[in-house]
Structure 1
């Protein structure tokens, strides 16, 4: 694959397999599975061919969704752990991997500035957010949860699952939660938790957490931060002043969600939920008479909604964080800075292009732009055409339907419909900055094919 030196990859994997075998030499020999090598080779070949039907998510010319290739060490650690296939529910199902999960999660908590924490890995951001909102409901069972109209749709779905009222707060014309509208809603006195998004998956912006923390101090609600996509950017040295101020207040919130399978270089699925107050663990209490007998230590299953979970995820994350520590000015942080640099390069190119208009200045690594046209409907048609033309040239984009409130500078005559389709690019790979000339050349050629 593009990112992998195959010989080095196989050498590292072989080294790990041999080292793993050394720990179990005192067991009686068991014959391996008996199967036809030729038949297995045929099946694997068929699978490889079927995988050709995917977009090349690993390549810098894929800039559509939030798909970041897991680093080699994560892939090898995950595969190596499959020889054991640990289950991080009870300690007797995943002794080593449970400890690795605790260590890796503690490093993430420290990255966010939590002095104390309760947390664990999940199968992804949706389940992590479900747990955070479930705790919010248990703490304030009769109160409403607030969320921005730019937040991920999972929150409304998960509140329906836990039967908790949720209301949407409008965003301003930069796509972040309108603090004035938020305060007006809070004044009614029935709000238990406010969900703050760092950063939003559509526009890549960050709600003003610093201002919302100030409201929390005045009105006394809880704050949950959904940073499934953007959490790791707290390590970046290239955030603008307002976004930096938001990230600097993460340490003052009640719960956080981040997805290591996005910017954390992990395979799917690997999410993480953190609580600043460990006492919320009391809500997880349950009885499992045949599960928690092997140790007096805390079993991860005692603080999770999920039961069986892949210990392989913990192994992969722990190994990655050993190679790339979660520290500012480190190698991992530099990768994040490269993503921000790529977004700014693209935004600057868009602003110079005669046929494009930037929606908002990128705050993280997502860029949205529209095709300049006489009307929103024609602009939307052109965006679809560029999307298809770029794909034919092996550049893979995404589309984003945006409300006209995000583009107040457009003249009234432009708006023959309330929404417009924008081109959305997620520059989540560290290589995107170095590939920007290739990317913009293909974009330019795709735009040139538009009919006037």
Structure 2
């Protein structure tokens, strides 16, 4: 097999030091670091103990029952280690399925350090160091998002981070509607976008005691891109806002939010006097890795508030694609097309963002984050107990989750801090974009005809084997069988997704027209590759994975098509 000719500059080689490697090539270094961490932890405990004395004596360790219990525990651990040898090898370059891959060793070590100390970031009283590091990690992520000074916290993932936005948007909206009602304002849409300045002016004028809680005569709605993650209807339901009040903005032929439809839907809500929770755009959809036209969305929202001192909450769900913003300031930005670059740059115009370091941050689970540009939007409604320190310095009063491990924050901090020196994230993600292009070109050389939908802005590559079929339903059936065969053979691990006409009508229609397929199905099945492994393309590898995978697809498709 011919090797891929990929030039590695010294800075790219340096990035290899962040990962253990598919064959545990950096095992000596990480072993030394884990040993150092454990010995430091042991010494810290011993030195801190002071006058407690030795509470587990040598004679205790010699007791038969003590030894028996230790042996039992060893057997349990050995059994677990053996069981996990059957886990999916997500570290392997052959794993190109879902949104996880190698873990950065600095992140893993930060995670281990935190687990040893077991801090609870609900309060600085339960996590002195962990809460400090969380704020430093949020600073790094705020800088990544383009915020001068963001306020936020870590969550268990993107779903809860999206819930954090919904909770705050609901509370802010009701505050503004209450103030508007007290001031005699009847325009619910205008009230829902009044802005903090007008709200504060009403409160100062009337007094807080004159502002009563009212129930809006119309349920508030949220506008979200039709390419949304399933956490959005889930969040609307869980927070009592109603799934039916989630309004989907149409997608264009590339699967991106249509700003024309966004404008029309906003005009309709304005005319119908309907209160608005906010607008959600996506930076890196879970199906295709698509990035919405963030710059144009921001411009549309400004048209509805210009000159009125108003404000429409613009949230970006960048759980997957947010880390691609590291390319914006790097030399590796050449890997991005002009529109993608512009939209990533424009993330700074959003009012809040969801990020998942446990995806393209290469950080262990669980590590998500919710960040607000304006602290007034963040500190909207506290909850606390009489035994918990209560002030704005304690973010635990403002989080949906109560007890929160500091591990995600520390792992993210460690990884981002270590990667700073070599522009590591930009180099890794630029490499994954190159991998996507190489895989696509390899598939295009196949004998079998391949369909590639648009909107694939990041390192996710979706495609459908058309072969010689003339109907979409036949193509869908073939690709489902290809997926099943590849899953059975375990040579590569991939995923699949399904686009429905309900949300992706234009994209499906245009793709079928381009490939001369009869549109006889309500959906389009796609094989899906998440090409985020740092070693998927490497001149040192004896395997050209792109070529080998393309040959596998061709072979399986041919075999199934001729049975």
- Can you list the C-alpha shifts for 1:340-388, whole angstroms capped at 9, x where unaligned? 1111112223333332221226310111111112222221221122212
Q: Corresponding residue for 1:218?
A: 303
1:324 is paired with a residue of what secondary structure? Answer: helix
Query: Is 1:387–1:396's contact at 8 Å kept on the other side of the alignment?
Result: no
Gaps (5+ residues) in structure 2? 1-20, 175-218, 306-311, 328-332, 539-544
Please report how far the alpha carbon of residue 297 of structure 1 lies from its aligned counterpart in structure 2 after TM superposition.
7.6
Distance 1:150 1:421, change over 3 A: same
Residue of 358, 364, 367 corresponding to 1:270 = 367
Q: Corresponding residue for 1:380?
A: 476
Q: How does 1:21-420 map to 2 (within 5 A)?
A: 21-24=42-45, 25-27=47-49, 28-29=52-53, 31=55, 36-141=69-174, 143-164=220-241, 165-188=245-268, 189=270, 190=274, 191-220=276-305, 221-236=312-327, 237=333, 238-292=335-389, 298-325=393-420, 330-355=423-448, 356-360=450-454, 362-372=456-466, 373-391=469-487, 392-403=489-500, 405-407=506-508, 408-411=510-513, 414-420=518-524
Query: Is 2:255–2:455's contact at 8 Å kept on the other side of the alignment?
Result: no
2:560 is paired with a residue of what secondary structure? Answer: coil
1:82 is paired with a residue of what secondary structure? Answer: helix
Deviates more, 1:397-406 or 1:235-244: 397-406
Deviates more, 1:52-61 or 1:231-240: 52-61
Query: Is 1:124–1:269's contact at 8 Å kept on the other side of the alignment?
Result: yes
Query: Is 1:86–1:93's contact at 8 Å kept on the other side of the alignment?
Result: yes
**Aligned alpha-carbon RMSD (Å):** 2.2
2:48 is paired with a residue of what secondary structure? Answer: coil
Q: Corresponding residue for 1:11?
A: 32
- Can you list the C-alpha shifts for 1:223-271, whole angstroms capped at 9, x where unaligned? 0000000000011212111111111111111100000000111111110
1:284 is paired with a residue of what secondary structure? Answer: coil
1:446 and 1:128 mapped to 2: Cα distance? 40
Distance 1:358 1:42, change over 3 A: same
Deviates more, 1:31-40 or 1:436-445: 31-40
Query: Is 1:88–1:94's contact at 8 Å kept on the other side of the alignment?
Result: yes
1:405 is paired with a residue of what secondary structure? Answer: helix
Richer in helix (by share): 2
1:215 and 1:52 mapped to 2: Cα distance? 52
Please report how far the alpha carbon of residue 23 of structure 1 lies from its aligned counterpart in structure 2 after TM superposition.
3.5
Distance 1:77 1:31, change over 3 A: farther
Please report how far the alpha carbon of residue 139 of structure 1 lies from its aligned counterpart in structure 2 after TM superposition.
1.8
- Can you list the C-alpha shifts for 1:88-132, whole angstroms capped at 9, x where unaligned? 111121111111111011111012121222101011111000001
Q: Corresponding residue for 2:212?
A: none
Deviates more, 1:194-203 or 1:308-317: 308-317
1:338 and 1:14 mapped to 2: Cα distance? 32
Q: Which has the larger radius of gyration?
A: 2
Q: Corresponding residue for 2:186?
A: none
Please report how far the alpha carbon of residue 30 of structure 1 lies from its aligned counterpart in structure 2 after TM superposition.
5.2
Distance 1:444 1:45, change over 3 A: farther
Query: Is 2:172–2:380's contact at 8 Å kept on the other side of the alignment?
Result: no
1:218 and 1:61 mapped to 2: Cα distance? 48
2:377 and 2:54 mapped to 1: Cα distance? 45
1:432 is paired with a residue of what secondary structure? Answer: coil
Q: TM-score, normalised by structure 2?
A: 0.75
Query: Is 1:347–1:361's contact at 8 Å kept on the other side of the alignment?
Result: no
Q: What is the total number of aligned residue pairs between the two structures?
A: 448
Please report how far the alpha carbon of residue 193 of structure 1 lies from its aligned counterpart in structure 2 after TM superposition.
0.8
Q: Corresponding residue for 2:547?
A: 437
Query: Is 2:368–2:408's contact at 8 Å kept on the other side of the alignment?
Result: no
Please report how far the alpha carbon of residue 287 of structure 1 lies from its aligned counterpart in structure 2 after TM superposition.
3.5
Query: Is 1:114–1:276's contact at 8 Å kept on the other side of the alignment?
Result: yes
Q: TM-score, normalised by structure 1?
A: 0.93
2:264 and 2:452 mapped to 1: Cα distance? 31
Distance 1:284 1:30, change over 3 A: farther
Query: Is 2:291–2:343's contact at 8 Å kept on the other side of the alignment?
Result: yes
2:350 and 2:548 mapped to 1: Cα distance? 41
